[in-house]
Amino acid sequence: MEPLYGPIRDYAWGSRSAIALLQGRPAPTDGPEAELWLGAHPAAPATVERAGLRVSLCDLVRDEPGQWLGQRVSDRFGTRLPFLLKVLAADSPLSLQAHPDAEQARMGFAAEAGRPETERNYSDPHHKPELLVALTPFEALCGFRPPAESAEALAAFGVPALAPVVEALRAGPAGLRTAVRTLLGWPAAERDGLLRSVLAAATDGPDADLARRLAAGNPGDPGVLVALLLHHVRLVPGEGIWMPAGNLHAYLSGCGVEIMAASDNVLRGGLTPKRVDVDELLRVLRFEVLHDPVRAPEPVGPGVDWWPVPVDDFALHRVRVDAAVPEVTLPLPGPRVVLCGAGSVTVDDGAGALTLVSGQAAIGTAAGEPLRVSGAGEAYVATSGLR
């Protein structure tokens, strides 16, 4: 194993303390720190040291796929690391968004070839399913809740203009598309008035509180009302959210470990000043109820658990070692990216042992032996989902 150095993305919604505290740096930081990227995505690749210089993991994987990926992974995914591990830290809500499935991504990327970057929805031809596991209490909107619940939430505001939306939702899942299209297509000149009417009518309650909170940072944005169609969940550390393709979601606050297919394809649906392509979003969305979006960790063995997901791009395991379980061996195939989430852990893949403290990361090639983790701490191990 060798040290892996990840860049930090400074998106405006990021925390000024969470990633710094995880890494043992002073907080608050001078600016927001939203995401720590530990992978080989070309937008912000992690690096390793070679002869005293930092070398992009993208370059190493491209030039030596057999060593870094192994035959099975390179046969399936080509000369790219198929997953991206992140630490995500949100102090304010992210945009409402959804991600395409593999076929939609291929078609969308090809169809937009030649367009200016500012007019593109697709930055690559890959899907982007994702799993987030809470490191701290974490709040999110994820997937459509039963439409009858959403209908009652909007009806409770008593705003006559929302009657067509409420009626569509009362028709069940078949009315979700109409409801979303109506809200996102609301005439721009009337959006401020609509939200003012909703907020003026809002009484105490979870939906009213959420609407006020989202509207404070996104005045006149119809995404505030679309957000009320989604599950509003609060995770405790260790719980996860699985977001398959086509599910509308937004992370609101908290810090977590996120793993996803290595793509940056995002279709936005509001709560953002960025471009929202309503027609393309509606094409990608799955208008169905997402049942049980929260995933609890499942034990694999002493000191090890995971959150199983139905994709082969990635898998995420958590290892906890202490006096009771001082060492764990993981027979997981490479490549492997390891993040220390707490304490101190030593990771050894037969090519060399490396000790990590909280916030540090390491990577091992596909040629490594079963991974041994020891010490007193917590580690997150990212691999491909191929077995």
Q: Per residue, what are the HEC states of 174-197? A: HHHHHHHHHHHCCCHHHHHHHHHH
- 158 phi, psi to nearest 5 deg: 65, 30
DSSP letter, residue 227: G
| Cα–Cα distance measured from residue 32 to residue 137, given in angstroms and rounded to the nearest whole number | 19
Band of the pLDDT at 292, cuts 50, 70, 90?
confident
pLDDT tens-digit series, residues 240-259: 999 999 999 999 999 999 99
Are 84 and 4 in contact by the 8 Å Cβ rule? The answer is no
- Structure tokens of 40? 């080989």
Q: What angle do CA 174, 176, 177 make, to 5 degrees?
A: 95
Q: Which of 34, 36, 52 is nearest to 44 (CA)?
A: 36
- DSSP letters of 7-73? -EE--TTBBSSHHHHHTT--SS-SS-B-EEEEE--TTS--EEEETTEEEEHHHHHHH-HHHHTHHHH
- 357 phi, psi to nearest 5 deg: -110, 170
Q: Is 73 left (phi over 0), alpha (psi -120 to 50) or beta?
A: alpha
pLDDT at 203: 83
| Cα–Cα distance measured from residue 328 to residue 360, given in angstroms and rounded to the nearest whole number | 19
In the chain, DSSP finds a helix count (H) and a strand count (E) of 12, 22
pLDDT tens-digit series, residues 81-102: 999 999 999 999 999 999 999 9
Mean pLDDT (whole number) for 70-83 = 94
Give the residue numbers marked as catalytic: 268
Return all residues near 10 (Cβ < 8 A) that are at least 6 apart: 31, 32, 33, 34
Mean pLDDT (whole number) for 107-134 = 93
Sequence length of the chain is 387
Band of the pLDDT at 114, cuts 50, 70, 90?
confident
pLDDT at 387: 81
pLDDT at 368: 86
Q: What percent of the chain has pLDDT over 70?
A: 100
pLDDT at 119 over 90: no
pLDDT at 342: 97
Are 1 and 349 in contact by the 8 Å Cβ rule? The answer is yes
What global pTM score does this model have?
Answer: 0.95
pLDDT at 117: 85
